[in-house]
Structure 1
């Protein structure tokens, strides 16, 4: 179990902790984020020692972790970046300047953990946007032709609501609460591929493991894979009926099959990432890849020329040795539509191998270049998403008898904090729950509570995580609320326990007593606790949570609040319950 805990917490530390702190998640790309993005646009190049006279040109345009970021709103250092219309404009401009045939790919998490307006429409807009990038050979109902220029793979977030909803999003059909923007909803106009996601009963892949595309008579193969430890990032029942196999083994098996068919140019699309390490403190990224993806690439068949990665929201653009000691290009672009990887390949007509490549990571600035001319069709869709999303957000789910606010008493407790913590504890079925107050970003007004209110109160796309902790660790966690001797604390909102703290005690020893069900907390006993993934990664200096055991990922924080509030007696009359008491 410790290996599993390290896996989930190492990823969370790199993504959630940095994101919540307002930092760029770019691994080795040091300096300001604008400088990092400028450096990422510098191409890396490789060419085989023996020159080939006759080659075909192929351009790959890859995005990852789009998370249905349909409408505008993201910024980098005050500059607007991304949105579906802007991304589409950049990709179409790149297609227009490409020397040869172009393929557009996404490396998973295209939907899920999404903008509220898209999430309220079951993320159908995310698929619809990608469809709009397709050529005339990309068609709904599984009728896309072999010349379709789009390819996707599943990420862990595609499985947030289980296999059934993922397949509905891909294959089409109205949601039980739909229809939304299409009636009937058409699903994906392009193939999803994945070699290592198999049905448990048959051990057969849920999707085609690979596809082959012909470029002027020369084949190029694409193989998909999902991170093996997807269960670490999903609720327990999300993979019911499915099994995720080892990434490298599944990819290599497909590469062998493709080789037997005469395919020697291979692109692996993997929803897994790593970290591009800096070279001895240099501002420039090194050629060294660390993390889970590094181990996978090091085991890949020498026939794999390119790995398109995702998941960690960390930028890669480097050459890495595969199992045969040959160089494999590994890329991962900026997430949420704020960038894409642009890769130019030259494939030998005789050997059918990649003999040259060039790669860069492009930022989709909305205030320059193609960003000044957002794609008109996609912009129309974004307007429809806003309009219908607003209508769905206005649906009333519950009622509040009086304001439920974040205003805390002298001890550090608030009525809304109590409500949120109770919702999270119920969602995960644990002994206790802890919520950082900064993650509660708006009050609940008296009167109607709408679907949209949940995303306003808790807009961060954070999953809940169930952990196991000792009573001693819980005491340590509560004492980490004070990091200085000044007396200023960052008070976790709690559920399932009460405690007393003394302002005259030194920081680190202020908690006097902790009670559960009227009895003192036993320091040697083990308890289950619910936190969100930011806290689980040690966010807010609550580092003792990184020592907890047996993490199990649950629903998003806003979803937990939604489900809890709608089941409460109406109207809701929440108040501070006296869970936190202060002495002196």
Structure 2
């Protein structure tokens, strides 16, 4: 159970907020007691401290298109602040400095990025999840050894000892004011990195852990193991799901942090969700005034800027916040610029090697604002799944899934610069590496059809997750429908594998990267595989090999998952002429391919409905490409039993096809006239010439009496008369009766003879 955060009244201000004021009063009293007239040295009334922050830099060393400024410009901007407030300016990070980096940094294991941050004079950082991409041993060893700044974290504990795994905070003395930085990381770490890489670590509740650390910094006791701070800033690698302040005050995990971290924490610098916000109206529980809650976006687009006004007499701190855009905002720092230049030179040698060609853009899904949407199906995600399946077919793989967070860049058809190195359509090693920079291995797991269904259901993330939906890339051959309006756990509809329904009881070999195989991104069903075999093949190499085997790759515009919502059929099923409304979605990609089109429904090859597709992009989920299609049930043959049939839907220009069931009612057999031995109803003629005959031909006269009943072909209908008079009928009846009597009498005599011989 969470402990209540200390209130502002319970904060021991004598040890934290009023130290310097108390010292001044003490000096004055001592002077009076000594009876001296020595003047007390003048003290500044307020100390101003600038705190600059970054988050999710991800090794973006070079300047790119706006808003990515590059490391040298970032350093130049930090230099400007330091020049304006020398000695009182701090530079900090909320994590993910490295990992998921561009090729320039990736190709040298992000060491150029650490060199650049060292040159900038980064004062402190909390680790993000990507600092653990290669496991805790790599972070504790290589990463920290190459970092000339401390890492702090208060909520990672060692399971074996129950002790904190890292220093929970770092205190910096700035002109006599002690500024404490407490670190924390998302509690979802075992889902975000390979669980094997963080085995033995426990990621505890952020609020409780931070409040414990803040209490230590404000308890008035200062020892080697217990620091004290006048100002506290939280560096937390967790963030709001959107740029809306309302989301940070609701029921999400981050709202819990924003509201319930102790009011003794003066500001929160957040990270992880790559959102840009500066919230200034959130009053913490137990507090009396709002505090800044800030995130800079990502990739060095902005600096967060906290201005701390510390009253040297009262010991009270006032903190204001803003965001500082970085793109082309300052002169590049020459030292950092040289680090970037050297890194680019190393990367250029290997990076220019071509690995394949594409005929069009292969892109990630996008949001309405153009940023990446990890909840949307993408041509790039499906391609990478295809590549990973191809790499492991020899290992028995049949299906592959790719997590959207593992796709860090698009593959563009247009040249990125020098056409002699990167012509239109050419894919270089550097471009391929930018897509998949994590160096995960491919794992082939044995899953039942039911576990595959569960995996697809887990695309809808648990409540409180920073992203509510994560769309898996799916290899060719596997398609499925889903109902976005259905209850959790029952959204996935029909799953088809290689043209046939997926067998829920059968076992399949499924390839995923090592991150997903261990249950990353909350795909716990993948961690429940009955068998796992690490192929030892790296994800990036599988992409390179795929291009080698397929020298010219085109984006596949066919959706492999489509949303279908249909009403409940009436009891007995639909009848001819009934209409059925189908709500369809995910008919188009949000990024690349047609932006509108038509979807058509057919039944047994006959069109029964069509609709225009709305191509408006939908953020967060996979619902773009929507259509409301009305199906009109056609005539059904008489005598057909009630049945469920499959409607075939086709999207023009994309290759997308899918089916959906429709329940049809039974149709009664056509009524039959018991007096008619034929199949054609009789026709009564008015007399005269029989239709279709000529008078005077054939054996008859070619005319009939009025009222004669004939079949449609002109033959006489069976009426009991058929042209014979009553007398003739009576004579015929007597003859038949006599004949019958003869036959019966003869049979009786034969039986009598037979009986006598048997005896």
TM-score, length of structure 2 as denominator length: 0.49
Secondary structure of 1:132's aligned partner: helix
Which residue in 2 is equivalent to 1:258?
217
Q: Deviations over 1:163-199 (max 9, x none)?
A: 1222234332xxxxxxxxxxxxxx1111111111223
Which residue in 1 is equivalent to 2:689?
none
Q: Offset of 1:226 from its aligned partner?
A: 0.9
Q: Deviations over 1:126-172 (max 9, x none)?
A: 111111112xxxxxxxxxxxxxx611110001111101222234332
CA 1:469/1:214 → structure 2, altered by over 3 Å: closer, same or farther? farther
Which residue in 1 is equivalent to 2:433?
455
Q: CA RMSD of the aligned region, Å?
A: 5.2
Secondary structure of 1:73's aligned partner: coil
In structure 2, the gaps of 5 or more residues are 1-16, 22-43, 223-227, 363-378, 414-421, 458-471, 482-492, 529-536, 561-654, 659-759
Which residue in 2 is equivalent to 1:30?
none
CA 1:427/1:350 → structure 2, altered by over 3 Å: closer, same or farther? farther
> Which aligned pairs between 1:405-424 and structure 2 lie closer than 5 A?
419-422=386-389
Secondary structure of 2:165's aligned partner: coil
The answer (yes or no) to whether the contact 2:385–2:402 under 8 Å persists in 1 is no
Q: Offset of 1:265 from its aligned partner?
A: 1.9
The answer (yes or no) to whether the contact 1:275–1:290 under 8 Å persists in 2 is no
Which residue in 1 is equivalent to 2:327?
365
Which residue in 1 is equivalent to 2:166?
207
Determine the C-alpha separation between the residues in 2 that align with 1:124 and 1:240: 25
Q: Deviations over 1:268-315 (max 9, x none)?
A: 111110146658xxxxx9995774222013221221111111111112
1:270 to 222, 233, 236: 236
Secondary structure of 2:97's aligned partner: coil
1:171 to 144, 156, 164: 144
Do structure 1's residue 101 and structure 2's residue 88 form an aligned pair? yes
Q: Deviations over 1:489-535 (max 9, x none)?
A: xx97625x46799xxxxxxxxx998346x975126879796689xx9
Do structure 1's residue 220 and structure 2's residue 193 form an aligned pair? no
Which residue in 2 is equivalent to 1:541?
none
Q: Offset of 1:248 from its aligned partner?
A: 1.2
The answer (yes or no) to whether the contact 1:406–1:440 under 8 Å persists in 2 is no
The answer (yes or no) to whether the contact 2:56–2:299 under 8 Å persists in 1 is yes
Which residue in 1 is equivalent to 2:475?
494
Determine the C-alpha separation between the residues in 2 that align with 1:90 and 1:151: 18
Determine the C-alpha separation between the residues in 2 that align with 1:194 and 1:83: 27
Q: Offset of 1:322 from its aligned partner?
A: 1.9
Do structure 1's residue 299 and structure 2's residue 269 form an aligned pair? no
Which residue in 2 is equivalent to 1:432?
399
Secondary structure of 1:62's aligned partner: strand
> Which aligned pairs between 1:120-519 and structure 2 lie closer than 5 A?
120-134=107-121, 150-172=123-145, 187-260=146-219, 261=222, 262-275=228-241, 278=244, 288=249, 291-319=252-280, 320-326=282-288, 327-354=290-317, 356-366=318-328, 369-370=329-330, 373-393=331-351, 419-422=386-389, 432-434=399-401, 441=411, 451-452=429-430, 454-455=432-433, 458=435, 470=450, 494=475, 497=477, 514-515=496-497
Determine the C-alpha separation between the residues in 1 that align with 2:188 and 2:455: 31
Q: Offset of 1:472 from its aligned partner?
A: 9.8
The answer (yes or no) to whether the contact 1:59–1:100 under 8 Å persists in 2 is no
Secondary structure of 1:75's aligned partner: coil
> Which aligned pairs between 1:12-91 and structure 2 lie closer than 5 A?
54-76=45-67, 81-91=68-78
Determine the C-alpha separation between the residues in 2 that align with 1:475 and 1:332: 32
Secondary structure of 1:222's aligned partner: strand
The answer (yes or no) to whether the contact 2:303–2:323 under 8 Å persists in 1 is yes
Determine the C-alpha separation between the residues in 2 that align with 1:452 and 1:527: 34
Q: How many residues were matched structurally?
A: 440
The answer (yes or no) to whether the contact 2:386–2:475 under 8 Å persists in 1 is no
User: Could you say which structure has the greater relative contact order, defined with CA pairs below 8 angstroms and 6 or more residues apart?
Assistant: 1
Structure showing greater Rg: 2
Q: Deviations over 1:79-98 (max 9, x none)?
A: xx411111111121122223
Determine the C-alpha separation between the residues in 1 that align with 2:203 and 2:127: 12
Determine the C-alpha separation between the residues in 2 that align with 1:415 and 1:550: 20
The answer (yes or no) to whether the contact 2:243–2:277 under 8 Å persists in 1 is no
Which residue in 2 is equivalent to 1:43?
none
Determine the C-alpha separation between the residues in 2 that align with 1:110 and 1:295: 25
Q: Deviations over 1:516-556 (max 9, x none)?
A: 6x975126879796689xx9xxxxxxxxxx99874779xxx
Bigger drift between 315-324 and 462-471 goes to 462-471
Do structure 1's residue 119 and structure 2's residue 106 form an aligned pair? yes
Which residue in 2 is equivalent to 1:140?
none
Q: Offset of 1:394 from its aligned partner?
A: 5.7
Determine the C-alpha separation between the residues in 1 that align with 2:94 and 2:656: 50
Q: Deviations over 1:334-387 (max 9, x none)?
A: 210110111100123244331x22211011121xx41xx211111111111100
TM-score, length of structure 1 as denominator length: 0.62
CA 1:266/1:513 → structure 2, altered by over 3 Å: closer, same or farther? closer
Secondary structure of 1:191's aligned partner: coil
Determine the C-alpha separation between the residues in 2 that align with 1:339 and 1:170: 24
Q: Offset of 1:246 from its aligned partner?
A: 1.2
The answer (yes or no) to whether the contact 2:241–2:247 under 8 Å persists in 1 is no
The answer (yes or no) to whether the contact 1:276–1:290 under 8 Å persists in 2 is no
Determine the C-alpha separation between the residues in 2 that align with 1:99 and 1:383: 28
Which residue in 2 is equivalent to 1:13?
none
